[in-house]
Amino acid sequence: MVVLGQWAGIKARQHTTTAGASPAVARGYNSSASVVNAMFLLFNVWAINTLRAARPVFTIPSIQYTILVLVGFTYGPLESTTEASHRFVREVLYAFLTGQAISAAVCLLVIPVSSRKVFFGETVGFLQSCRGLLKKQVAFVEALEHSRICKPVISNPPSDSNDGTTGPEGDEVFKSRQSDLKTATAGILLLGSKLREDLVFATRETAYGRLDGKDIDTLHGLLRGIMVPTASLSTIADISVRMDKRGRHADPSSASLSQVALDIEHEEWLELVRGARESFQNMSQLLDEGITYILVQLRLVPGKKSTNAGSSDADPEKGQDSDNKASFADVLERTIDEFREHRSKELQTWAHERGLDSVFQSARKHAQENPPTRPPNPRRATRESLASARLHIILYMEYLLYSTSKAILLAVRFADSKVTDGTMSKKRFIIPTLETLTKWFKGILDGDENPSEDVDPGASGEQTFQLGDSFQSPRDPEHLPPKNFGQVLGNQIRKIPKFFGSGPVAFGFRVSVAVMSIGILAYLRNTHAFFVKQRVVWCLVMVSIGMNPTIGSAVFNLFGNLTFTVFGMIGAYINWYIVDEKVGGVIPVFFFFMMFYFYFAAKYPRFLVAIVAGALTHVLIIGYELQVNVIGLQRATATGQPFYPTYKLAPYRLLTVGSGVLVGYIWTIFPVPITEGSVLRRSLGGSLFLLANYLSCVSATVDRRLQVAEGGEGMAAHGEELDRARGKLLDRQLSLINGIKGNLGFMTFEPKFGGDFPKEIYEELVDEVQSITYYLTIIAYASNSFNTASASSTWLHTFTRQHRQTLTSSHALTTLFALLSASIKNGQALPPYLSVPTLPDLSNQATTIPGENEGDDVGVLGLNNVNEEGYRAVVVIEVAQRAVSHGVGRIVELTRELVGEVDFGHHVVAQEEEVRDLGNVV
């Protein structure tokens, strides 16, 4: 582009210069050449910044491209011949290529770090974090006895006795363990997201190693299977708090209950919690050994020569028993099954001793005892319903622990398979497949894949299913589907104005205008010499790479770039004068300064652009002084740039960089500022709409898996498409939530005009959306148990018949999320009388179905079926459903507080005096 633009400028100069003109005129300023170069500069800056906004992955290459075109087209008007232009472009290109070659050589030869090495290092960190998280979970289960859910349901006045489990000290222990668990969970989720980001590069890399791209992809899937149940255990604290808020109350008749009775009730539930704690301790120790086994078998950590295998018969370091009894995977699988059976018997025995066989019926039974003309008290709770809630939590925890164990077992068997087939025995050259490379280039060009890709409605052969609209291309409310080639061509033509009206194009245009507001100096007769002499081109560089779409991030970059540019100037002073301007001392000190800059750039990626601005200032100052020492003063000033000593050059560099940052900020807020609040609101609306899609997808997943478990084999053909769509929705949702949190962080830097931004409300909304997303993920994960259950299972077949009654409520929630999304995104009030649909408890529905045994009045979800496949999954789904319903209600309240409600009625509000008089009368 630079060669083409300069060649066009030279031709414009030749066409507008008279024959026989003096050399001063022929080689001097030419308005036509300046206009042509300005047009090329404007177009290239617009194009590259549009690409940078549309594809953030190209940010680093776009910076290099920007610097090249800015230097090329601002110096282009000075080139009078093609030979001079080619020589100039060649020197600039060689400079870029030399720098890239040096950086590539250093990356390959000096402590090389491949993408595979990064991925495997993160895998080790992830699995080690899982070990730490399991220990945190054991500590949390120990502190669960201090939670309010384990206290008596009837709140008596506080007594003088305190055993340390119900007082302030117990609450502090519980809150401390809860905070530790959440911190550890956040860490493992962060590592999981990094693994997914680095997976793409690890599978595409040519390397010399053991595991190929498919093995790495399989390993990542196994790690993700471990992450979901392990991280989901942290929701126990949130669920217990939600249940406690919903069910606890102070009863006027509590005085009739003795403290002894309440203590007995409390001790009974502590016994249950302590049983769960012991099982967690035993299983976490075995799972810790399993994780160590995986790391050793896959050669991710060095194995010890001898080790104690703990409670198992197998040696986790060698992968087999020293006495040849059984493999470690077999021992682990047997222990997991024994854990499940043992805990099932313990729960059954404990419940039968207390007459709680029908505990799941209690909520429905007591609800029917209320008079039909009197609405039930939402804060009323009985001891039986609290017992149901407590049992739900115990079963919820044990199901997730059991699922974690099964996921680790799959990873253990994968590691064994790689050892058995000889993959881990020797290294070999690994080259990415053609399919991988094709997907890579396709992803670069097309971005996100079309959700309808590779969907074949008739793939099952026996039956044909009509897939929902979400599997098809999005509909256009202004156009019907095309019917002929002309309409198809018209649809392609309509993409052109749609592209030019998009946000990335608008951002690119804003950046190009900002650049030309200063770059125009390079193309005017009276200022082009000043532009070259004072090196104003670096001001344009900072304008281009330092601009951001929103005000908050622009203010952050403004102060960050200015601060680090000052540091860069001060560092250049120190670098040059501390060694008395001796080149032999300047270069080693320069090395340490660069190491200092980019250490913080790697450690704090949030400040990358600001740190690069400071390092760039330092490099320009020191590099220019070294250049003068090498090539001499005469050649250094041949381009028209005067020589400045360091104490003058440094302030000039600071001024040019600072001016560029300031101009970029001005054009961010002018003429129409894009506030962080508006972006945050629209992003939150989009997140709620994604949540509606995700909820619908999860409901369809549960429905499909139950139908497959019931015997509908034809439905299994489209399960892969549904799982793929659900995974994409989850990834997009988590990415959008992270972006929203970033916007919330930038709200601190945004100038405030008018009333305060309701940051606390938005933070709570984002937290609720994130929590509901996690609970829906748990529901989808738990429903996978229905696939493992046998189609001939009488219990699962009996339960499945009642499932369809829950679909209407899930569809109503999807509708509600879509409505909330539109209200927040468009800033419109909610409709009146908006109610939150309640998902019916699966257990209360299923208890109306007779059990498998004749005369069994407990129902299919009685504790006698606790060891059935899918039983605990139903409990997990119910617990997560209750948390989702509670979170939706809170989202509706917060949204109503933000946007209001359509209400033209009037409400009589009593004055303070009237209220006081009324209180005296009463």
Q: What is the pLDDT of residues 842-854, one digit of tens each?
A: 555 554 444 444 4
Of 174-183, 308-317, 395-404, where does mean pLDDT reach its minimum? 308-317
| 396 in Cβ contact with 280 (< 8 Å) | no
Q: Is residue 29 in some structural domain? A: yes
Question: Given this model, what pLDDT does residue 246 score?
Answer: 58
The pLDDT-based confidence of 785 (bands split at 50, 70, 90) is confident
Question: Given this model, what pLDDT does residue 620 score?
Answer: 87
Question: Given this model, what pLDDT does residue 387 score?
Answer: 67
DSSP assigned state of 676: H
**Token pair for residue 402?**
């059991």
- Are residues 422 and 306 part of one domain? yes
- Are residues 183 and 35 part of one domain? no
Count the neighbouring beta carbons within 10 Å of the beta carbon of residue 366: 15
Question: Given this model, what pLDDT does residue 470 score?
Answer: 57
Report, as an integer, the average pLDDT of 778-789: 81
Report d(CA 621, CA 660) in Å as an integer: 17
pLDDT surpassing 50 at residue 123: yes
Report d(CA 524, CA 517) in Å as an integer: 12
850: CATH: 1.20.58
Enclosing domain of residue 688 = 676-899
The pLDDT-based confidence of 448 (bands split at 50, 70, 90) is very low
pLDDT surpassing 80 at residue 918: no
- Are residues 147 and 89 part of one domain? no
Question: Given this model, what pLDDT does residue 375 score?
Answer: 43
Which residue, 94, 112, 130, sits at the end of a domain?
112
Span 726-771, pLDDT tens digits: 888 998 998 899 889 988 988 888 888 888 899 999 999 999 999 9
Report, as an integer, the average pLDDT of 353-360: 60
pLDDT surpassing 50 at residue 888: yes
Nearest residue to 402 via CA among 281, 285, 280, 270: 280
**Token pair for residue 185?**
């969970």
Question: Given this model, what pLDDT does residue 383 score?
Answer: 60
Which residue, 624, 645, 674, sits at the end of a domain?
674
Q: Is residue 911 in some structural domain? A: no
Q: Is residue 464 in some structural domain? A: no
Question: Could you report how far apart the first and last alpha carbons of the chain are, in Å?
Answer: 86
Q: Is residue 482 in some structural domain? A: no
Of 324-333, 485-494, 657-666, where does mean pLDDT reach its minimum? 324-333
Question: Given this model, what pLDDT does residue 363 score?
Answer: 38
- Are residues 724 and 611 part of one domain? no
- Are residues 702 and 616 part of one domain? no
- Are residues 179 and 33 part of one domain? no
Q: Count helices and strands (H / E) in the chain.
A: 32, 2
Report, as an integer, the average pLDDT of 358-387: 46
**Token pair for residue 170?**
């117990």
Report d(CA 342, CA 351) in Å as an integer: 14
- Are residues 368 and 355 part of one domain? yes
Span 21-73, pLDDT tens digits: 888 888 889 999 999 999 999 999 999 999 998 888 788 889 899 999 999 99
Question: Given this model, what pLDDT does residue 233 score?
Answer: 82
The pLDDT-based confidence of 534 (bands split at 50, 70, 90) is confident
pLDDT surpassing 90 at residue 142: no
- Are residues 347 and 231 part of one domain? yes
pLDDT surpassing 90 at residue 879: no
The letter for the amino acid at 623 is: G
Q: Is residue 660 in some structural domain? A: yes
775 burial via Cβ count (<10 Å: 0-12, 13-18, 19+): buried
Q: How many CA atoms lie within 13 A of 91 on its CB side?
A: 8
Report, as an integer, the average pLDDT of 125-134: 92
**Token pair for residue 521?**
């100096």
Q: Is 788 helix (H, G, I), strand (E, B) or coil?
A: helix
pLDDT surpassing 90 at residue 571: yes
Of 310-324, 488-502, 663-677, 798-812, where does mean pLDDT reach its minimum? 310-324
The pLDDT-based confidence of 5 (bands split at 50, 70, 90) is very high
Of 222-236, 416-430, 825-839, where does mean pLDDT reach its minimum? 825-839
Nearest residue to 727 via CA among 455, 457, 449, 464: 449
| Domains identified in the chain, total number | 4
Question: Given this model, what pLDDT does residue 365 score?
Answer: 43
Q: Is residue 446 in some structural domain? A: no
pLDDT surpassing 50 at residue 160: no
Question: Given this model, what pLDDT does residue 371 score?
Answer: 40
- Are residues 636 and 697 part of one domain? no
**Token pair for residue 670?**
């002018």
Cis peptide before 671 (omega within 30 of 0): yes
Q: Is residue 920 in some structural domain? A: no
Which residue, 674, 702, 724, sits at the end of a domain?
674
Pick the more confident residue, 148 or 817.
817
- Are residues 227 and 127 part of one domain? yes
Q: Is residue 494 in some structural domain? A: no
The pLDDT-based confidence of 540 (bands split at 50, 70, 90) is very high
| 705 in Cβ contact with 786 (< 8 Å) | yes
- Are residues 692 and 613 part of one domain? no
Average pLDDT, the chain: 80
- Are residues 139 and 85 part of one domain? no
